[in-house]
Amino acid sequence: MKPNEGRLQTAEHILSRIIERKVSDARVVIAKFKEESGLLEMTTETDLREELDLNEIQDRVCEIIRKELPVHKSTKKREEAEKEVALSNIPRFVQDVRIVEIEDFDKRPCRDPHVNNTKEIGNFKILSLKRVGNNRYRFTFQVE
């Protein structure tokens, strides 16, 4: 695991949930992580460059991080997991689904590493937002 991977992964969950709540048809397409930064691509009919105030979104992510919310990880059989989270992006052959829950904020399937508490993320910053295709937008961000 890369040193910042769990921090970036958990920050991506927070960023995604905030955008999904603000823009009802926004959906995560892909998330990738490098040593120092993360990339999140989402699809939506809404032009996120016009709809979102990046400073406001960044401040909201930082607010959630400062709440020091516990992050729970569990593995459930597919039948049980689909009662709790959307599994449309999880291949049907996957029968043991790992669920990551940021307490009282977000819950979704994810196999990657995460922190145990949002306070471990540190400072969060959105570096850019670009349109990268028809109805597809890319956020780059970092944690410090």
Task: Mention the CATH class of domain 5-143.
Answer: alpha beta
| pTM, full prediction | 0.95
| Residue boundaries of the structural domains of the chain | 5-143
89, pLDDT greater than 90: no
1, pLDDT greater than 60: no
Confidence of residue 4 (pLDDT cuts 50, 70, 90): confident
Stretch 61-86: mean pLDDT: 97
Asked if residue 60 lies in contact with residue 52, where contact means CB atoms within 8 angstroms, the answer is no
For residue range 104-139, list pLDDT tens digits in order: 999 999 999 999 999 999 999 999 999 999 999 999
39, pLDDT greater than 80: yes
Given phi > 0 = left and psi -120 to 50 = alpha, else beta, which region is 40?
beta
35, pLDDT greater than 90: no
DSSP-assigned letters across all residues of 52-99:
--HHHHHHHHHHHHHT--BEEEEEEEHHHHTTTS--TTS-TT--EEEE
